[in-house]
């Protein structure tokens, strides 16, 4: 996504820091959008532009492609881009990653749309998370017992949304079979499959694929909380707690 920006970094890094010495004003959101629109092929919104604390003249920019935040840095005239992780040597914090996590959130309207795509519900409780999964994804399989045990202990409902990836050729059919045969979380975790490939199931899974593309979700497992926060990858209990608190 930021391939072009990353390539550009090698040529602009020295110049950017020279410019940073005298810059104090950051570009506007419109200036940012106009400057980087050729570098980001998807539709995106500029969420934040702010002076980077501790580095005079360098501005932090946060844009979002669907639910995915991208953080990079610009000079005050929006002429140069610096992409990559900014690390604080003092406390060893990855400032870029921390900011990305802050913006990993979907809107209320997006949550309403996501709710329409739930394929399987497991457990009870007023709290819930959306578990976007591929039946043949190895990290999803490792996530299943973690999520199930946590949800039972915390009283959280798991709402599965099937998102079969192209690299798993049998995942689409397995997803459709679970929906068509009205199976549940247990069957999903066991890799359920059948010859029942009803049109309703196919349409549901295809609709999920289209929604995930729209949201910018490209991998599994991805978890979206009732509070809108997003976590990608194998979760810890702490990660899951953040989705419902």
What pLDDT shows up at residue 211?
Answer: 96
d(CA 76, CA 20): 8
Check: CB of residue 216 under 8 Å from CB of residue 68. Answer: yes
Running DSSP on this structure, what letter comes out for residue 225?
E
- 162 pLDDT higher than 60: yes
pLDDT (average), residues 10-35: 65
- 21 pLDDT higher than 80: no
Running DSSP on this structure, what letter comes out for residue 11?
H
0.75 exceeded by pTM: yes
Running DSSP on this structure, what letter comes out for residue 78?
S
> The tokens 């020279």 sit on which residue?
18
The full set of domains in the chain, from first to last, is 3-103 (3.10.450.70), 108-241 (3.40.30.10)
In this structure, the strands spanning 156-162 and 127-133 are: parallel
- 4 pLDDT higher than 60: no
**H/E element holding 47?**
strand 45-51
pLDDT (average), residues 215-231: 95
Least confident span in 46-55, 127-136, 160-169, 222-231: 46-55
Least confident span in 41-55, 142-156, 168-182: 41-55
């Amino acid at each position: 996504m930021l391939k072009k920006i990353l390539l550009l970094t090698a040529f602009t890094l020295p110049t950017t820091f020279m410019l940073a010495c005298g810059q104090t004003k950051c570009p506007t959101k419109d200036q940012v959008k106009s400057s980087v629109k050729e570098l980001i092929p998807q539709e995106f919104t500029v969420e934040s532009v702010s002076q980077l604390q501790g580095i005079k003249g360098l501005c932090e920019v946060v844009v979002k492609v669907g639910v995915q935040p991208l953080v990079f840095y610009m000079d005050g005239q929006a002429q140069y881009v610096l992409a990559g992780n900014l690390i604080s040597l003092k406390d060893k914090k990855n400032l870029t990653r921390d900011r990305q996590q802050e913006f990993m959130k979907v809107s209320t309207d997006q949550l309403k749309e996501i709710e329409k795509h739930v394929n399987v519900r497991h457990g009870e409780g007023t709290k819930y998370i959306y578990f976007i999964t591929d039946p043949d994804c190895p990290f999803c399989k490792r996530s299943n017992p973690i999520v199930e045990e946590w949800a039972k202990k915390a009283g959280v409902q798991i709402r599965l949304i099937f998102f079969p990836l192209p690299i798993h050729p049998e995942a689409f059919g397995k997803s459709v079979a679970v929906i068509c045969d009205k199976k549940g979380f247990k069957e999903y975790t066991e890799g359920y499959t059948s010859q029942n490939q009803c049109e309703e199931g196919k349409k549901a899974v295809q609709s999920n694929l289209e929604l995930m593309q729209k949201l910018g979700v490209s991998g599994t497992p991805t978890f979206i909380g009732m509070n809108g926060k997003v976590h990608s990858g194998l979760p810890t209990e702490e990660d899951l707690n953040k989705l419902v608190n």
